[in-house]
Amino acid sequence: MTLNQSELVSLMVELFAAIRLVSGYPSPAVLPEVHSLPQIEIQRRLCDGRSCRVKAYYHPQSGVIVDETLDFQGDPFDRSILLHELVHHLQKTTGKFEVVTSFCSRRISEELEAYEIQNRYLSEIHASRRAFVMGWNGKCADDDEALKPDATVRRWGD
């Protein structure tokens, strides 16, 4: 991620407008913070130190965490990864899935919707790649400690 703060804010405003167009979510009152980390640190935080393909995640207190190698200026698919995480920010700030009492059901619903919006965005910009869920990390209990934030196993389009 080589964007300065002004470029990042402009990109987020653009992506939130795209989310609104394809989903109807309102634009947020406050933009989340975005932090870049090395892929190995993301793996340490989300994948118990083992190799995984997670490129970004959202945490309500920390904001959006992205792999520092993502190219938001030159790669539309990388921009869609940020868009996916911004959807999670909107899900949390609007409380859309708070009525789902099962933690696991809520997490699955949130992920499926974020992927659907991400793929609608990719379709709208005529990108050839799509994102899809390969599976969960095997930990899914109705306990907030059972899943780390965005600990889904993701395969980012070929």
CA distance 147 to 69: 25
Per residue in 5-27, pLDDT (tens digit) is 899 999 999 999 999 999 999 99
Non-local CB neighbours of 97 within 8 Å, separated by 6+ positions = 91, 106, 109, 110
pLDDT at 152: 41
What is the average pLDDT across 49-73?
A: 91
What is the average pLDDT across 122-127?
A: 95
CA distance readout (Å), 154 to 8, 85, 88, 151 = 24, 13, 15, 9
54 vs 89, which has greater pLDDT? 89
Structural domain boundaries enclosing 98: 5-156
Could you tell me if 53 and 151 are in contact, meaning their C-beta atoms sit under 8 angstroms apart?
A: no
Which single residue is written with the structure tokens 């200026």? 73
Per residue in 131-155, pLDDT (tens digit) is 877 655 545 555 444 444 444 434 3
Number of domains in the chain: 1
Provide the Cα torsion 34, 79, 60, 29; round to 10°: 80
